[in-house]
């Protein structure tokens, strides 16, 4: 048996646009897809994420076979420990002369692959990932010589480059950004459309059973498995979103609702990030919905900004700053993660709901990730690597290129402001304004100290006080710091003492 070229397709590269698949004719290649313990357990991955990838990998392998590819598919039950071991076996079996792979999305794996030519005894070609709209070179060219790498300017360039929501060389409607229209809180103003029932086929049922058996200690309630595992099914999810949720997406983008984990969000990051959807057609479909009058400009712009702007920007930032970025801890945050991060058992209603759905469903929307969980981690000073590993493990859409800048940079300000112009720290007042959790909570968002006071309140001021020197260089923090300094010493002491007490009892909150 001889196939000259082995092609490794990683679990998050399940796309016909994968450049490794476009290098050689099917009859000369053997494609490797491998479910391996090392990838599944390098953090405590949610069973939803493992099941989504294993099932999508199995479906993609079936498609490849239909297209005439020879596929070597290794299941988790074969107990091949690592991707390298999987490649070793196949390269030897088929006497391959080289291995081709599209570059992985995580630095960790890219580093490992440096040694693969020696370990495998054949050349390894690692191809640039062409499935993003800005290459690493594009981002570096944009970043070079800039003092600050703000997303807004990157996004404007991307709008011009891809001619999305443009009128000639001007932004559609005259403004680049309609963020100010996208901040409504949730008070049950309208019906939230029910999501379609998931279609779980036999292949997915098998995977679910296997994942329960092989990953007994991981979080994730797979009785609620609802993810698409093929391109067509992911496209159907996007179609449903454009039809039913997009019109309200902008308005309620920052809302927090007791009644729904999804609100009007897209639920497409998991598909974009594993290759089942490509970003440009997604943006074009949303623009088309606006052009035919189906949604407002602020809804379409709000959505396109996330995919064309934030998603591309965080990836650029990751590769621009790695490997040093992952070690940053600008605020020296080291408090151990409370145990309830792994159960959701806290009486803080907003947090309990966000944690529970993250653990059970593998999903939380942006404001839950940023302003509920991330904000708590920031103001309580939780250990940065532990928080990042938690986020990387828990979400179905998490890969380090996207998780790390969002968590370490945006939520925890541990990069000292490379990503965010000020820390996203907020008190309970913000959470109360954005949603309806507080009504159902044992804590009172209006109380700062004393029995029943919302923990976010005193912790917020504790955060401001302990970082006042660092924050005083930040013009956007001037007003808040000024207000804090104007308060009497006694007043400040009462708040800080209560926050200390709250931190001492963090496990019992």
Q: In what order do the strands lie in the sheet with 29-34?
A: 70-74, 29-34, 5-8, 98-102, 124-127
Binder of ligand SF4 out of 249, 436, 445, 461 (CB under 6 A): 445
Q: What is the DSSP string of 453-484?
A: B-HHHHHHHHHHHHTHHHHTT-GGGHHHHHHH
Residues binding ligand FAD: what is the number (CB under 6 A)?
28
Closer residue to ligand FAD (CB): 214 or 308: 308
- 428 forms part of the interface with ligand SF4 (CB under 6 A): yes
Q: What is the rounded distance in angstroms from the CA atom of residue 8 to the CA atom of residue 418?
A: 34
For position 272 contacting ligand FAD by CB under 6 A, the verdict is yes
* 157-187 b/e (C-beta count within 10 Å ≥ 16 → b): ebbeebebbeeeeebbeeebbbbebbebbbe
Helix axes 136-143, 312-321, angle to 10 degrees: 80
**16, 17, 21, 22 alpha-carbon torsion, rounded to 10°:** 120
82: its two tokens:
């690592």
Tell me which residues in 145-174 interact with ligand SF4 (CB under 6 A). Answer: none
Neighbour tally for 245: CB within 10 Å: 22
Residue 64 contact among ligand SF4, ligand DLZ, ligand FAD, none, beta carbon within 5 to 8 Å by kind: none
Confirm or reject binding of residue 506 to ligand SF4 (CB under 6 A). no
Residue 406 binds ligand FAD, judged by CB under 6 A? yes
Please identify which residue in 19, 105, 302, 435 interacts with ligand DLZ, judged by CB under 6 A.
105
Quick one: what does residue 50 bind among ligand DLZ, ligand FAD, ligand SF4, none, with the CB cut-off 5 to 8 Å set by partner type? ligand DLZ
Tell me which H or E stretch contains 29: strand 29-34
459's torsion region: left (phi>0), alpha (psi -120 to 50) or beta?
A: alpha
273 binds ligand FAD (CB under 6 A): yes
> Using CA atoms, how far apart are residues 260 and 267, in angstroms rounded to an integer?
13
Region binding ligand SF4 by CB under 6 A among candidate stretches 33-41, 244-252, 346-354, 378-386: 346-354
Closest to ligand SF4 by CB, 178 or 456: 456
CA-to-CA separations, 182 to 257, 303, 368, 437, in angstroms, rounded: 15, 10, 16, 20
Rounded to the nearest 5°, which phi and psi values hold at 30? -120, 125
**Residue 53: which of ligand SF4, ligand FAD, ligand DLZ, none does it interact with, CB under 5 to 8 A by kind?**
ligand DLZ
Considering only residues 453 through 482, tell me which ones interact with ligand SF4, judged by CB under 6 A. Answer: 454, 456
- Number of Cβ within 10 Å of residue 325's Cβ equals 21
Cis peptide before 323 (omega within 30 of 0): yes
Longest dimension (CA), the chain: 82
* Residue 369 contacts ligand FAD per CB under 6 A: yes
Residues 16-75 that bind ligand DLZ (CB under 6 A): 34-36, 39-40, 45, 49-50, 53
**Contact at 8 Å (CB) between 5 and 97?**
yes
Quote the CA–CA distance of 419 and 410 in Å, as a whole number.
6
Residue from 431, 459, 471, 506 that binds ligand SF4 (CB under 6 A)? 431
Q: For ligand DLZ, which residue has the nearest CB?
A: 11
Piece in contact with ligand FAD (CB under 6 A), picked from 122-130, 180-188, 301-309, 493-501: 301-309
Q: Does residue 341 bind ligand FAD (CB under 6 A)?
A: no
Any contact of residue 392 with ligand DLZ (CB under 6 A)?
no
Q: Pick between residue 9 and residue 454 the one whose CB is nearest to ligand DLZ.
A: 9
Q: Distance between CA 186 and CA 438 in Å, rounded? A: 12
CB 116 → ligand DLZ: shortest distance, Å? Answer: 14
Nearer to ligand FAD, 268 or 441 (CB): 268
* By the rule CB under 6 A, 443 interacts with ligand SF4: yes
Q: CB under 6 A: which stretch of 7-15, 149-157, 209-217, 473-481 binds ligand DLZ? A: 7-15
Nearer to ligand FAD, 74 or 255 (CB): 255
- Binds ligand DLZ (CB under 6 A): choice among 106, 172, 397, 403: 106
The listed partner (ligand SF4, ligand FAD, ligand DLZ, none) that binds 407, CB under 5 to 8 Å by sort, is ligand FAD
Of 407, 411, 409, whose CA–CA distance to 398 is shortest? 407
**Cα separations in angstroms, 65 against 71, 97, 116, 384, 470:** 6, 22, 26, 43, 57
Binding site for ligand DLZ (CB under 6 A): 10-12, 34-36, 39-40, 45, 49-50, 53, 83, 104-106, 109, 399
Binding site for ligand FAD (CB under 6 A): 265-269, 272-273, 303, 306-307, 310-311, 314, 365-366, 369-370, 374, 391, 395, 397-398, 402-403, 406-407, 410-411
């Amino acid at each position: 048996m001889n196939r000259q070229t082995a092609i490794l397709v990683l679990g998050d590269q399940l796309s016909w646009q994968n450049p490794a698949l476009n290098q050689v004719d099917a009859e000369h290649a053997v494609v490797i897809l491998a479910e391996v313990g090392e990838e599944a357990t390098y953090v405590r991955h949610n069973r939803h994420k493992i099941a989504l990838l294993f099932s999508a990998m199995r479906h993609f392998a079936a498609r490849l076979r239909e297209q005439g590819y020879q596929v070597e598919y290794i299941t988790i039950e074969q107990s091949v420990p690592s991707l390298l071991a999987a490649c070793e076996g196949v390269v030897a079996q088929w006497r391959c002369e080289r291995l081709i792979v599209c570059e992985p999305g995580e630095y960790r794996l890219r580093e490992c692959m440096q040694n693969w030519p020696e370990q495998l005894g054949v050349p390894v070609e690692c191809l640039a990932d062409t499935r993003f709209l800005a290459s690493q070179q594009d981002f570096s060219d944009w970043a070079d010589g800039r003092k600050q790498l703000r997303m807004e300017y990157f996004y404007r360039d991307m709008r011009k480059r891809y001619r999305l929501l443009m009128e000639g060389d001007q932004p559609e409607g005259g403004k680049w950004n309609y963020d100010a229209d996208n901040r409504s809180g949730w008070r049950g103003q309208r019906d939230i459309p029910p999501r379609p029932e998931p279609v779980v086929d036999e292949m997915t049922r098998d995977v679910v059973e296997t994942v329960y058996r092989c990953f007994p200690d991981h979080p994730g309630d797979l009785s609620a498995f609802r993810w698409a595992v093929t391109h067509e099914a992911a496209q159907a999810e996007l179609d449903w979103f454009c039809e039913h949720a997009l019109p309200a997406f902008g308005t309620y983008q920052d809302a927090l609702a007791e009644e729904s984990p999804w609100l009007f969000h897209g639920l497409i990051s998991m598909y974009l990030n594993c290759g089942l959807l490509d970003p440009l057609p997604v943006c074009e479909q949303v623009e088309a919905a606006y052009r035919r009058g189906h949604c407002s400009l602020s809804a379409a712009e709000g959505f396109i900004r996330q995919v064309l702007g934030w998603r591309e920007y965080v990836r650029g930032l990751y590769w621009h700053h790695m490997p040093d970025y992952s070690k940053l801890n600008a605020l020296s945050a080291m408090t151990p993660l409370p145990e309830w991060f792994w159960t959701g058992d806290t009486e803080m209603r907003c947090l309990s709901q966000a944690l529970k759905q993250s653990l059970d469903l593998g999903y939380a929307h942006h404001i839950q990730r940023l302003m509920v969980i991330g904000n708590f981690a920031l103001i309580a000073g939780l250990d940065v690597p532990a928080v990042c590993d938690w986020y990387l493990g828990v979400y179905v859409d998490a890969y380090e290129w996207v998780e790390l800048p969002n968590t370490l940079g945006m939520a925890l300000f541990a990069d000292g402001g490379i990503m965010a112009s000020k820390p996203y720290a907020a008190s309970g007042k913000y959470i109360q304004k954005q949603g309806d959790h507080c009504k159902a909570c044992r804590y009172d968002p209006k109380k700062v100290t004393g029995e029943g006071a919302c923990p976010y309140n005193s912790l917020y001021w504790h955060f401001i006080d302990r970082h006042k020197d660092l924050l005083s260089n930040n013009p956007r923090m001037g007003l808040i710091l000024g207000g804090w300094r104007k308060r009497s010493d006694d007043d400040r002491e009462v708040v800080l003492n209560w926050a200390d007490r709250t931190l001492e009892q963090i496990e019992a909150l």
